[in-house]
Amino acid sequence: MKKVYVTLDAQPVLEKRLAQFITLVMVVGLLLLGRFWYLQILKHNYYYELSEKSRIRNFKIVAPRGFIRDRNGKIIASSAPNFILEITREEVNNKDLLFSELSKIFNLPKEEVEKLYKARVSVTPQFYPVLMFEHLTREQIVAVEALKWKLKGVKISYRSERSYPFNNLASHLLGYVSQIDKSELEKIKGYQVGTKIGKAGLENVFEPYLRGFDGVERIEVDAYGKKQKVLYKLDPVAGGNVELTIDWSLQEAAEEALGEKNGAVVAISTMTGEILAMVSHPNFDPNLFVKGFKKEEWLNIAKNPFHPLQNKALQGIFPPGSTFKLVTAIAGLEEGVINQHTRFYCNGKKRIGSKDFRCWRDSGHGSVDVHKALVESCDVFFYETALKVGPEKLAYYAKQIGLGEKTGLELKGELSGVVPSPEWKRQKFSQRWYDGDTLPFAIGQGYLAVTPLQLAIAYSTFANGGSVLKPIIVKQFEGKDGKVIKQNVPSIIRNVRLKPETIEAVRSGLIGVVNEPSGTGHAAYIDEVVVAGKTGTAQVRAFKERVKLSGFKNDHAWFVGFAPAYNPEIVVCAFVMHGGHGGGTAAPIVKAVMSKYFSLKKEVKNEKYHKQQ
């Protein structure tokens, strides 16, 4: 082994090695510089985006929807806080733990929570938290808050949300809001995923007035998600309010009077066409649409054979029964085929060809004039009248007075119904019109089909002396700043010329219906004012499959009344599906609404009087 010990010669060796080391350091230094070049120049945009993600948070500030109020300012669709749980993606440290904890709190399988999260992430814009659960209960909020120390990225906050304080009342009128769906998002501009939009009723029609504009707050957070400063803030703009023509006290009275019976009640001001109350039953709780249905809640609605979502006041078409005798009487009197003294003899039936057309009273009414015919609802009198007038003229007057056409109410889905005529029958069935068609027509049966709203309009036309009014549901719109931006004024669709004698003859008959002992509508009598009106009992054609259900056996019950008889202010139409006799089932409903209306009026008067004192 050769060992050479160097002491003096060592210096150049050491210097050389040190120089090598220094060179190495210089090279590594340049490599580091290259790495910084890569990060700061080449990957700058990538890291800039990452930085924004970890630093920026956006929060949606949901604008409150405008209120819906009744004519006296009572709020019937308001806002309520909705507690929601959101997940800030960038802050989540342990997804697995998060999902399993949420699955416990919200009583869902973990896979469902995960699926929900994925679905929601796919529709949530960047830098926004992911909305997971809504309508948290107090217990859920407490449970989440208690877990916050280990559930990073979870946030509970609240949003303003539509609330219907009276639940089922006026549900068809108000409609409902619920989450906007994909097709709506594509069709309507200016909405974001997750927004709640008016889908039915007034909520739907007046969406542009009621909707607010959501705000956003963009904040900068530190590494712990704590707010550092507000980078940008767009304040939400609340929606405008809508004030209805509905009088909520009257609406409640009508709802109560109809009760659990299926049908509709419509109350209209005969002077202005303002709808004072509109009820349809069965109804639904619009709050469920906002919050989301439980399965059995939805089945209750979907499986109900009476279609709770249908507004029977304007979407239900039914034969008006004897309430149509108003039109037959007017047609006869106006055409001069009868006058107030004309009498026909009723022996209980009218024979046409080989077929007997019966009067509802088998024993007959004897000799009747128009007054008695209306009071006792004699069918034979109107058979005779209609035969003299002819179906064309009858149809003409029916249409003139407002039947068989849409009333033009600002709600979607209104049906026009059917007013038959020889022309109509030829087109529809390619058959000629027989006298056997005229007789049922005269007493509101057969092909004739109207909505309760149309019938109310028809009676209001007669009551106010011949003006077909367009029904109004909204009194005024308030803008986002609370100022009135639009007021609805009464509008007349057309005038029907009615001779004073016609009016007088028919009115006395309608008064008799309610006020005479033999009148069919005596159940609508009230002490305060004179009520005039007409009952109707519409025979139900036996639908084979339906007849099995006992609820479908009975005839439909109608009553339409107006008051005060000589200076009418209000018309009320009550319709009860399969309710039996109009005088027995529908008239008391009208009575209840009428007496409420006039007692409210008295209250208002008293108030005014006291104020003056």
| Footprint on this chain of other proteins (rule: CB under 8 A) | 2-7, 10-11, 13-15, 17-19, 21-22, 25-26, 28-29, 32-33, 35-37, 39-41, 43-44, 46-48, 50-51, 54-55, 92-93, 220-224, 228
Closer to other proteins at the Cβ: 8 or 489?
8
580, amino acid identity: G
Is residue 536 within 8 A of residue 559, CB to CB? The reply is yes
Least Å distance between CB 56 and other proteins? Answer: 10
Pick 6 or 489: Cβ nearer other proteins: 6
State the nearest-atom distance from the C-beta of 132 to other proteins, in Å.
Answer: 19
Query: What CA–CA distance (Å, rounded) separates 347 from 343?
Result: 13
CB of 25 or CB of 302, closer to other proteins: 25
Work out how close the CB of 127 gets to other proteins at its nearest, in angstroms, rounded to a whole number: 15
Between the alpha carbon of residue 419 and those of residues 318, 405, 462, 558, 595, the distances in Å are 11, 9, 18, 18, 33
Q: Which is nearer to other proteins, 43 or 426 (CB)?
A: 43
249 is catalytic: no
Nearer to other proteins, 38 or 543 (CB): 38
Q: Per the residue annotation, which of 163, 178, 322, 377 is the catalytic one?
A: 322
Joined together, the tokens standing for residue 107 give 């009583």
Nearer to other proteins, 156 or 219 (CB): 219
Dump the DSSP string for 418-453. Answer: B---HHHHHHHHS----HHHHHHHHTT-TT-BB-HH
Q: Which long-range contacts (CB under 8 A, 24 or more apart) does 104-108 make?
A: 105/140, 105/143, 105/144, 105/147, 106/133, 106/140
HSE at residue 542, side-chain half, CA atoms within 13 A, is 4
Q: Rounded to the nearest 5 degrees, what angle is found at the Cα of 352, between the Cα atoms of 351 and 358?
A: 45
Q: Which is nearer to other proteins, 46 or 566 (CB)?
A: 46
Alpha-carbon distance of 68 to 164, in angstroms, equals 10
CB of 19 to other proteins, least distance (A): 7
In one-letter notation, the amino acid at residue 280 is S
Q: What SS3 class is residue 485?
A: strand
Using alpha carbons only, give the angle 310, 315, 316 rounded to the nearest 5 degrees.
Answer: 90
21-40 burial, b at 16+ Cβ within 10 Å, e below that, comes to eeeeeeeeeeeeeeeeeeee
Minimum gap (Å) between residue 21 Cβ and other proteins: 7
Q: Provide the minimum distance between the beta carbon of 25 and other proteins in the complex, in angstroms, as a whole number.
A: 4
**DSSP H helical ranges for 405-536:** 422-429, 435-442, 452-463, 500-515
CB of 217 vs other proteins, minimal distance in Å: 17
Q: Kindly state the tokens that stand for 98.
A: 């998060």
Sign of CA dihedral 168, 203, 75, 588: negative
Distance of CA 300 to the CA centre of its chain: 18
Please give the distance of CA 476 from its chain centroid, rounded to a whole number. Answer: 18
Distance CA 203, CA 241 (A): 11
- Nearer to other proteins by Cβ, of 22 and 142: the residue is 22
Least Å from the CB of residue 42 to other proteins: 9
Question: Angle at which helices 379-389 and 325-335 pack, to 10 degrees?
Answer: 50
> In this structure, which amino acid lies at residue 52?
E
Cβ proximity to other proteins: between 45 and 354 the closer is: 45
Please, what sign has the CA dihedral across residues 275, 209, 125, 139? negative
Residue 383 and residue 391 in contact, taking contact as beta carbons nearer than 8 Å: no
Alpha-carbon distance of 443 to 451, in angstroms, equals 16
Give me the least distance between CB of 145 and other proteins, in Å please.
22
For the annotated catalytic residues, the residue numbers are 322
